[in-house]
Structure 1
């Protein structure tokens, strides 16, 4: 009997937590009261293929034409009869989308939808001890009615209450992401999440798309070191040396203690023919490197290249 009371209290607590999240979201004055992305494409899933169907929906929503059948070999694992989250993100990036994880909050999901971004979510439609994992795509909501709409399974407009959605989503530890065109950014204000996403994206993207992503992010967060370094590196890869130099100089201004930023600036100044300024930047980098041996090796190599350049170009 005592155990039953504890279990009842536990479930009441879970429901209270879900209700609190919904209540806070409904009362959020920064969110439009309702919004629906009615033109979002729909791909009804085949058995166990909710992952490919949801991902195809998200990619086609940003004009990346791919079918669920094409995605099955990339994300579907027959032994698991489903798709892993890491494969969903990786496949999205391989097809040219910047995939950014959404903060684990209901209001964050709705904020993306209000900004025009569909959101891929993972839910457990069963129980914690008897899970039924499922991917769906959030396409709309109505705060007054406390309803949310999804492209889900074989339903083009599946309706759930916000509280039910919150509970089923919570069982996946609130896993969700948005797939964006290069040069577009999520609605959320999380530069670290965006930087992490772009770093992963550029491993499979072309040089231009990586540059577009970093450039857009730096315009929103002009002092973020990882984004500035990425912008400089991607501009360099495209042969835009003046823009690369500018990005690395901005990085040294925003983060004067960054040895890597000063070293990259030194390299760019040398390429532009300013050996004197390059040498000063490299010496500054070496002074900042401290006991970081790997960094010191890179900087010493930069200084040697500058000295070699100066010897060949004395004037």
Structure 2
């Protein structure tokens, strides 16, 4: 009887702890906590939505950030041509590679995203519109604040859209945790993974971007001398 009373008293406390943990969002790794407390890549361009999902607008932000002058309208035309053969994510990657840029997929954790933003790399991603209608939408992550546990995105028609770690993680998870970097072939990401970089290099080569693929391979060999395709 004493044990039963004890369980009844402790159960609400345990539930409260779990609820608080869920509401605060994912726990960050120690190395992520050592990153700068607040980062915002203010120079990343912003474009208004050109379609419901925002793929052309988000890609235009990434391309212009790397000096490729383009617009959502022009990119939308190219993506429409690919729509019969590829899903939207694959189409965005194909178009990015056509400008000799490398598409580097990221692991599905908030830590992975924040590490890249801290290194100066905006992240192209897809998130579910939990509170803004059905379906998923592309966005560009450009900042975070560890103390406030918030993120800053170029999202929809909002240049600086703020969301909590918890809300973002839920929306990103619902959309499949897809996130990529779009990088010049001579620029490694933060904490690069050899096999991921080489796979992205092979994708450039397969698409016929031989010069860019060779630049990416030379870049890899500066860190991994034995790297090969």
Structure 1 length-normalised TM: 0.61
In the alignment, what sits opposite 2:200?
197
Report if the CA contact (8 A) 1:26-1:143 is conserved: no
In structure 1, the partner of 2:166 is 163
Q: Deviations over 1:45-88 (max 9, x none)?
A: 134150000011011111111111111122248999xx621111
Shift of 1:29: 3.3
Residue equivalent to 1:208: 211
Is 1:56 equivalent to 2:60 in the alignment?
yes
Shift of residue 182, structure 1, vs aligned partner: 1.6
Task: Give yes or no for the alignment of 1:120 onto 2:119.
Answer: no
Separation in structure 2 between the aligned mates of residue 46 and residue 212 of structure 1, nearest angstrom: 33
Counterparts of 2:31 and 2:225 in 1: how far apart (Å)?
32
Change (3 A) 1:48 1:76: farther
1:178-189 → structure 2 map (5 Å cutoff): 178-189=181-192
Give the aligned partner of residue 138 of structure 2: 135
More strand by share: 2
Q: Separation in 1 of the partners of 2:209 and 2:31? A: 42
Looking at CA atoms only, which structure, 1 or 2, has the larger radius of gyration? Answer: 1
Deviation of the 1:124 alpha carbon: 0.7
Task: Report the CA distance between 1:222 and its aligned residue.
Answer: 2.4
Deviating more after overlay: 108-117 vs 12-21: 12-21
Paired position in structure 1 for 2:71: 67
1:25 and 1:106 in contact (8 A); partners too: no
**2:39 is aligned with 1:24:** no
Cα 1:13–1:172 change in 2 (3 A) is: farther
Q: How does 1:1-315 map to 2 (within 5 A)?
A: 19=24, 21=26, 23-25=27-29, 28-76=32-80, 84-126=88-130, 131-204=134-207, 206-223=209-226, 227-228=227-228, 230=229
Unaligned runs of 5+ in 2: 1-16
Preserved CA contact (<8 Å) 1:54 1:120 = yes
What TM-score, normalized by structure 2, do the two folds share?
A: 0.82
Closer, same or farther: CA 147–195 of 1 in aligned 2, 3 Å: same
**How many pairs align?**
210
Q: Which has the higher contact order (CA 8 A, sep 6+)?
A: 2
Contact persistence 1:49–1:76 (CA under 8 A): no
TM-superposed CA distance for 1:211, in Å, is: 1.5
Q: State the partner residue of 2:14.
A: none
What is the rounded CA distance, in whole Å, between the counterparts of 2:166 and 2:59 in structure 1? 24
CA contact (8 A) 1:108 1:188 kept: no
For the aligned residue pairs, the C-alpha RMSD in angstroms reads 2.8
